[in-house]
């Protein structure tokens, strides 16, 4: 089975658990005549393991370029009645065609970190 180009994973580092039910969107960014445009490619909701199990459209092969991942974290914290500094987290990354990219997000109400996973 071919792996999609993008996978994502969200962990709630404050609670020490996967972050379930976070909406994740992927956008292709481009600049034309000095104007930044973004095309939404796909969306997903993290599962009980905090992972994007499946995008709403296949993302098996994408072109090289700049992409943005948006994690809508506000509703996750709202559901727990927890105040957060980050209503969403956006990560912009450089992608090369033909490679797999795993985008983990380690999240707390007042901080986050990320890295290129495997």
Q: Which residues define the annotated binding site for substrate?
A: 9, 51, 115
CA 53/CA 50 separation, integer angstroms: 9
What are the binding residues? 9, 51, 115
The stretches of 26-115 forming alpha helices (DSSP H) are 74-79
Nearest to 99 by CA among 1, 3, 2, 5: 5
């Amino acid at each position: 089975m071919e792996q999609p180009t993008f996978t994502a994973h969200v962990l709630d580092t404050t609670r020490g658990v996967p972050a379930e039910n976070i909406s994740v969107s992927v956008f292709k960014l481009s600049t034309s005549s000095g104007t930044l445009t973004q095309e939404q490619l796909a969306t997903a909701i993290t599962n009980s393991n905090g992972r994007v199990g499946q995008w709403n459209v296949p993302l098996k092969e994408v072109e090289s370029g700049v992409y943005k991942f948006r994690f809508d974290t506000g509703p996750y914290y709202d559901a727990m009645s927890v105040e957060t500094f980050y209503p969403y987290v956006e990560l912009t990354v450089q992608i090369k065609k033909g490679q797999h990219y795993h985008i983990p997000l380690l999240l707390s109400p007042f901080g986050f970190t990320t890295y290129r996973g495997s």
